[in-house]
Amino acid sequence: MTLEINCCPNCGSEEVSRNGQTRHHKQHYKCRECGRQFVLNPAWKPITKQQKELMSRMLLERISQAGIARVLQVSEDTVQRYVNSQAAAVKKQVEVTPKQKKRLSVQMDELWSFVDSKGNQQWVWLALDAQT
């Protein structure tokens, strides 16, 4: 009988105990020193920097998220989480330059149309600044 010696991936300690199983019936281990819980040879792999760069370029080319997931062989959820993280990094505040206050010359127009059915008549008003 051979005895497996497992090292903690966090601190490198050999003080590791078995700690149940995952839902996929893989053995869980827990480090007694740092408390990290881990699995040997996990199926989950983090996405690499090259994959992130390729994902960004593919998004700029307007390739669908499902297509990106197929090409990079990652889940669609991983692609969506990456898109969300990139969107959170974008500055949300718009800088508005104030205009001088002056008298406006406005042109107005109106029209009406039916929406969905003849019984649903809607009026649309349009106001335009004649200068700009």
Q: What is the pLDDT of residues 43-87, one digit of tens each?
A: 777 889 999 999 999 999 999 999 999 999 999 999 999 999 999
Q: Exposed, middle or buried by CB within 10 Å (0-12, 13-18, 19+), for 5? A: exposed
54 and 84 share one domain: yes
> Residue 5: pLDDT above 80?
no
- Does 98 fall in a domain? no
In a domain, 131, yes or no: no
Q: Is 41 left (phi over 0), alpha (psi -120 to 50) or beta?
A: left
Residue 22 tokens, joined? 């995952």
Checking if the pLDDT of 23 tops 70, the result is: yes
Q: Determine the pLDDT at residue 98.
A: 86
- Which residue range is the domain that position 39 belongs to? 7-44
Same domain, yes or no, for 36 and 55?
A: no
Residues 55 and 82 reside in one and the same domain? yes
Same domain flag for 19 and 32: yes
In-domain check, residue 38: yes
Q: Is residue 17 in some structural domain?
A: yes
Distance CA 40, CA 30 (A): 11
Structure tokens at 18: 């078995």
The answer as to whether 127 is a domain residue is no
Specify the pLDDT at position 80: 95
Give how many domains the chain has, as a whole number. Answer: 2
- Asked whether residue 81 is assigned to any structural domain, the reply reads yes
| Contacts of 12 by beta carbon, 8 Å cutoff, 6+ apart | none
